[in-house]
Structure 1
Amino acid sequence: MTKKLVGIIFFVILIVSSIFIGLVDLPIFELGTWTSRQNLVLLSSRLPRTLSLVIAGASVSVSGLVMQNLMQNKFVSPNTAGTMDSAKLGIVFVMIFLPNAPLLMRTSVAFGFAFLGTCLFLLLSRYLPSKNTILIPLVGIMFGNIVGSIATFFAYQHQLLQNMASWLQGNFSVVMRGNYELLYLSIPLFIVIYLFAYQFTIMAAGQEMATNLGISYQKMRLFGIGIIALSSSIVLVSVGNIPFLGIIVPNLVSLKFGDQMKNNLPLTAYFGASFLLICDMIGRIVIAPYEISVSLVVGVLGSVCFIALLLKESRRYA
């Protein structure tokens, strides 16, 4: 109970700090004396930014946890299975052929490309040795790079490179009221994942075990991929790409608390949101009054953790 209380207090401190750290000063103990400009900054920028950080951090981390169970591999995530790169290709497709499409249409197209791209990677992974847990994500990264290169080629051909790069880089400084609410769709997706957590846990034991327990392995796998693709597309369209988060957070949680998915889901969401909040505040503070994008901070810290996890796993094959 004490640990839960400490965790809640720590999370509240992170949220409050995120709201009150920024270029415009918002004195926390002088709420009654705020100007209309300060109130506008709070309601239109700081609160939406903090909410989007919490939802995106939780969503990306939980998506990584689900994908790791579906693939029976601790190093697979939407970033290492071609999901995010396929969604990026879908967004480039929209930018070229449907430039005036609404946000929901862009997300739908990105979801379609992400789903098909992930299914293609799953098909490819059947020909890889499943016992080597490091090889599959490395092939996934190469597959994602190929898809990403195709997206970059078409963006270059249509002079959309700069637009694509600025839009798809994980950056919460541009989050404002009215352009982030699509992230709320991640909440019902989290509920669906929680309801099917038992099935996803069984999936991690392999096809034979799942079939013996009455679970349709292929249907459940496609269902999980659909949830991951939709969640990843929502985050990518709303706030851009956030690397490594879907790998390191589920791994660190499982190392500490075990592999029971239903128990780990709230913890994974909590630590993912907390980690992203911390990275965003680091980006705001390091070169204030300027900002470093959160994707860069997460990339630096996440890559160190990812390499450490790979080295730990590689000792098993030494």
Structure 2
Amino acid sequence: MKSLLIAVPVILLLAVVSVLTGVGSLASGLDGGRGWLLIVESRVPRTLALMLAGTGLAVAGTIMQMLARNRFVEPSTAGTAESAALGMLMTMIFAPTLPVAGKMAVAALTALAGTALFLKILRQIPLRSVLMVPLVGIMLGGVISAVTTFVAYRYDMMQSMGTWMSGDFSGVLRGRYELLWIAFALTLIAYVTAARFTVIGMGEDIARNVGLDYNKVVTLGLCIVSMVTATVVATVGMVPFLGLIVPNIISLVVGDNLRRTLPLIAATGAGLVLACDIVGRMIIAPYEIPVGTVMGVIGSVVFLYLLLSRRTHAS
């Protein structure tokens, strides 16, 4: 609780900085002029989108780690994000006039299929090591990404595919981010069912012994992860490694009880994405570095550190 009380003011401060940061000047006044229009139409929607995406992906990564029983799994290391991008590409080719909500639904279905395939592959690997699980996920994601790239190249849609995987919030305006509230609603569902996911993380046998319907809880978790990932990919593109590093950091500090840690995980995810976006806007101003790029650099370093430290402890 103390950590959450510290995190909330920090997030609010980052949100204010995000609203005030940008190329457009607010000096024209807030009395109905251009400054107010800039805030209402661009800055506030962008800040909300950053917070909603960060919250959703951090929680989705936590649930996926519980389902796979591995700390190094999240949507970008399990083929989920790549499957969502493949679904988006299919809708652009075969149903280009489909509304954004429809495209998101198709992306959610393909993400669900990709995540279920990942978990099924894990079940076929006996005595899997800690490092084997993310390796399998990265390989599966690479295969799906290769198929997506081939199809996108064949239909001259490489630029669109890059947009779905870049995690770029520069184009967020009012009316173009509202689907991310679905991710927030799913986060609330995850919090309500957090105790079940905590038990699932202990293993199938323990879950069945305490009376849980293992298959139903896993299905619920897969649906939450897939829909959150598809929503974010369809709106702003994927932000890699966020769902990996945030749950690991919070677990080291607070523990693994999701009912207690999930609000802090959500808040930390939102704050981290806000911070990455502010950094991306300031490094080479007036140009921007996408959030996905900044997060990819930070996340890859933390990912390697976690892998090496776990390997050191294991030896």
Give the TM-score category using the shorter length.
over 0.9
Alpha-carbon contact 1:242-1:295 (below 8 Å) kept: yes
Q: Trace 1:55-204 onto structure 2 (pairs within 5 A).
A: 55-204=52-201
Aligned amino acid, residue 260 of structure 1: N
* CA displacement, residues 171-218 of structure 1 (integer Å, 9 cap, x when unaligned): 001000111100011122111111111110000110110000111112
Equivalent residues of 1:168, 1:237 under 8 A apart? no
The residue type equivalent to 1:25 in the other structure is S
Residue equivalent to 2:206: 209
How many Å separate the matches in 1 of 2:235 and 2:163? 12
Q: Which residue of 2 aligns with 1:19?
A: 19
Instruction: Say yes or no: does 1:271 pair with 2:268.
Output: yes
| Aligned residue among 230, 238, 247 for 1:241 | 238
| Alignment equivalent of 2:251, drawn from 237, 247, 254 | 254
Amino acid at match of 1:204: G
Separation in 1, partners of 2:78, 2:5: 36
Aligned partners of 1:11, 1:94: CA distance in 2, in Å? 36
1:280-291 equivalences in 2 (<5 Å)? 280-291=277-288
Following the alignment from structure 1 to structure 2, what is the Cα–Cα distance between the partners of residues 258 and 265? Answer: 11
Q: Report the residue type matching 1:284 in the other structure.
A: R
**Larger deviation: 308-317 or 276-285?**
308-317
In structure 2, the CA distance between the partners of 1:140 and 1:20, relative to structure 1 (3 Å rule), is same
Confirm or deny: 8 A CA contact 2:3 2:264 kept in the other structure.
no
Deviation string for 1:39-59 (max 9, x for gaps)? 111001000000000000010
CA contact (8 A) 1:128 1:136 kept: no
Cα distance in structure 1, aligned partners of 2:137 and 2:23: 40
Give the partner amino acid of 2:24: V
Residues in 2 aligned to 1:112 and 1:3: alpha-carbon distance in whole angstroms: 36
RMSD over aligned CA atoms reads 1.5
Query: Secondary structure at the residue paired with 1:248?
Result: helix
Query: Does the CA contact (< 8 Å) of 1:64 and 1:247 recur in 2?
Result: yes
Does the 8 Å contact 1:55/1:183 carry over to 2?
yes
Between the aligned residues of both structures, percent identity stands at 41
CA contact (8 A) 2:165 2:239 kept: no
2:165 counterpart letter in structure 1: L
Q: Distance in 1 between matches of 2:266 and 2:29?
A: 31
1:31 Cα offset (Å): 5.6
Match for residue 218 of structure 2? 221
The answer to whether the Cα contact below 8 Å between 1:15 and 1:277 also exists between their aligned partners in 2 is yes
- TM-fit CA distance, 1:222: 1.5
CA contact under 8 A between 1:283 and 1:291: conserved in structure 2?
yes
Q: Which consecutive residues of structure 2, in runs of 5 or more, have no partner in the other structure?
A: none
What's the TM-score, normalizing by structure 1?
0.95
- The normalised TM-score by structure 2 is 0.96
TM superposition shift of 1:35: 5.8
